[in-house]
């Protein structure tokens, strides 16, 4: 595994692990700061608060449980992200996504259920009634 700097996400100095093109990993992967996948992964990918980046051309067949997940390649498996999921236009996702914030670019393909809400965001939501009795949800702290 190589380590390098990640300038794309926030421009911070955190070291990112790299699974490069032509590399296949099978099993459970645990990481702390960040992991960039350009090759193939099968199994599970877990990080308490780290960022997983699945590059265009990469293939991940795994259960993903991370802080942030940015998908540009192929992901087959369920994703649980504590902060957000970004699905780029070059990506194909087959599996359920659970996250408080979801960004999907036009052209991306997503097949699966999406779960978003107060539980994922850590915010308290309360139903409010408008004059025409349509139910809306207001999120406190957002």
Sorted by where each begins, the domain ranges of the chain are 2-117
pLDDT along the chain (142 residues), means of 10: 43 73 96 96 96 98 97 98 97 97 96 81 41 44 44
Reported pTM: 0.75
CA distance 130 to 32: 45
* pLDDT score at 15: 74
- The contacts of residue 50 (CB under 8 Å, 6+ apart) are 31, 32, 33, 34, 35, 66, 67, 68
CA angle 76–78–82, rounded 5-degree value: 130
Q: How far apart are CA 21 and CA 28, in angstroms?
A: 19
Residues paired with residue 97 on neighbouring β-strands, in sequence order: 79, 114
């Amino acid at each position: 595994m190589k380590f390098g700097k990640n300038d794309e996400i926030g421009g911070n100095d955190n070291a990112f692990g790299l699974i490069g093109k032509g590399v296949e990993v099978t099993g459970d992967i645990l990481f702390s700061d960040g992991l960039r996948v350009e090759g193939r992964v099968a199994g599970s990918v877990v990080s308490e608060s780290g960022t997983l980046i699945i590059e265009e051309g990469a293939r991940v067949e795994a259960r993903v449980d991370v802080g942030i997940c940015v998908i540009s390649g192929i992901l087959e498996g369920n994703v649980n992200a504590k902060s957000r999921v970004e699905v780029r236009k070059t990506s194909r996702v087959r599996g359920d996504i659970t996250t408080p914030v979801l960004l999907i670019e036009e052209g991306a393909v997503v097949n699966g259920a999406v779960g978003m809400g107060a539980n994922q965001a850590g915010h308290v939501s309360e139903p409010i009634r408008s004059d025409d009795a349509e139910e809306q949800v207001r999120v406190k702290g957002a």
